[in-house]
A and B are shown apart, each in its own frame.
Chain A
Amino acid sequence: MVGPDADPALRNALVTMARSAGVTIDEETATRLTPVLASVLTDWETLTRAVAPEVEPMSVGRRPESQP
């Protein structure tokens, strides 16, 4: 998911998300921040794994198939 091929997509995502907030990110900044965003993606993968239904402590928000 996080590799050289993903960079243009990530870069576009960053620029687009910023634009939606009214923030313009120039080319140079976008290039510099793309690897940072890539490292953050690793965090998000960790979060996604962590809140698998079997370890989610709240019943609200569990997927139907995980309900006891």
Chain B
Amino acid sequence: MKWNELEEFTLAALSRAFKNRQVSPVEITEACLARIERLDRILNAFITLTPERALADARRAEQEITRGDWRGPLHGVPIAIKDIFATRGIRTTCGSRVLRDWIPTDDATVVRRLAQAGIVLLGKLNMSEFAYAGIHPDFGPPRNPWNLDRFTGGSSGGSGAAVAAALCFGSLGTDTGGSIRGPAAHCAIVGLKPTYGLVSRAGVIPLSWSLDHVGPMARTVKDAAFLLDAITGFDPADPTSADAPRGRGRPRSLQTLAKEVRRLRVGVLGEFLGEGTAPEVAARVRAAVTALEPHVGGVEAVALPHTEEIIPAWSAICYAEASAYHESTLARRPEDFGDQVRERLQVGLAVPAVQYLQAQRVRRMVISDFAALFERVDLLVLPTMLAEAPTIAAATASGSWMALRDRIRSTAPFNLAGLPAVSVPCGFTDSGLPVGLQIAGARFADRIVLAAAHVYEQATGWWKRRPTLTRASTAMAP
């Protein structure tokens, strides 16, 4: 297996090939490591590479599969995870100098669950510092495989780049205001922010504990579903963990659920297709709705009340919780934070308790608004990001974190309400940059959301288009 043949495989296809002994986990892992060696000097997707661990995982998986002990669809599959998840014996930086040399003594629950599913861990992926703002100069920005001058989106940017460039077959990210879905949209992959509580956050460094979610990022919806199945489930180590009600959120095949999608009513949130949204993005999303319409029970325009209050509420909660978490480090080692994160944390110290509580009251209003909407429709669709990926220079410029408010306008509502939302590729702008369609559902309707995304994905085939990586390949050619 050569490094440039990996793009032929999705996670699901690779899994079948392992099971049928057409390729071996060791062979694929070696090809992944060769591809990372060749491309990541340009993409900068990885913070820490774990080749010895990966090859050991691969050899174990190969032996188990060979003797018939197949653990499931992730067995032997090379995966890399955002550097926000604690990994026993592997440094976990969270993209910050503050944790530059931290080597955890335990795995996060989701990391342990992936290991139980038999993955091959390739390493830890680049990210915005503490998943908050900016890229710490110690690590530098990941580059978008579709255009190396463009940002991947944050904060799970390394995950977006690595999956899109086929450096790995899937990843885990975290999403506090759009940090899974944004990079998924900008890198033309699939990213799911699950229902709040569905996936454990034990061992995951928090940004804002009432807004943080852990979820899968992968090339296709089916691949993301495999990852979700592996990490879902009640975890007593996470006080916010919830067990999905029977029949919802539990593994059922996407093909089975696709039949249910035909009966579902889809609401189009028109306020995210007008002013403030790039016309090209709006056009691609409208085309996506047209493509989805024959496969669902009906499409209608709906509106979300209180949109003006959502970002102020999200901001007050995020600022306050992030500053509370980092308060003691900020007092003792302020110089170890990057400028943008340090300044944002300093501003967060000034959020009055009254405004934090008002924000939580607005949050209850928004949850009620969504509940009313989901009495009328089963799914909501809207753009994931309202504009194409910014340049790296613009995304990392001083003060750029103030622009974040605009970038998360279409994603943060689902963090505030804790609802499942997926981004699936739905086309490209004229400059060749990806656009994502966001599909959201009611609490614990994660599998239905994925099924609808799967139906759309299979009907349109955008997932088949891959970045050429010409510049990266050429730059690294011997």
Please list the residues of chain A having a beta carbon within 8 angstroms of any beta carbon in chain B.
13-14, 17-18, 20-25, 29, 32-33, 36-37, 39-40, 42-44, 46-48, 50-51, 55-58, 61
Contacts and interface: CB of A to CB of B under 8 A. Distances in A.
Nearest to B306: A50
Given A18-B349, A56-B361, A33 B343 contact: yes
Contacts of A61: 361
Nearest to A36: B347
Nearest to B308: A46
B328 to A, nearest CB: 8
Given A43-B312, A47-B355, A25 B361 contact: no
Interface stretch (B216-224, B293-301, B313-321): B313-321
Given A18-B349, A36-B343, A44-B355, A55 B319 contact: no
B347 A40 contact: yes
B362 interface: yes
Nearest to B328: A22
Contacts of B349: 14, 17-18, 20-21, 23
Contacts, number: 91
A23 B334 CA distance: 8
B309 A47 contact: yes
A2 B79 CA distance: 49
B331 interface: yes
Contacts of B330: 21, 23
B355 A58 contact: no
A contacts with B: majority SS: helix
B358 interface: yes
A32 B362 CA distance: 29
Given A14-B350, A33-B347, A21 B331 contact: yes
A37 B309 contact: no
B402 interface: yes
Contact of B365 (A18, A25, A57): A57
Contacts of A14: 346-347, 349-350
Interface in B337-385: 343, 346-347, 349-352, 355, 358-359, 361-362, 364-365, 368
A50 B365 contact: yes
B346 A18 contact: yes
B327 interface: yes
A23 B346 contact: yes
Contacts of B358: 44, 47-48, 50-51
B316 A44 contact: yes
Given A18-B350, A50-B312, A57-B364, 12 more contacts: A14-B347, A17-B350, A23-B327, A23-B334, A23-B349, A32-B343, A39-B402, A40-B316, A43-B315, A43-B316, A47-B355, A56-B365
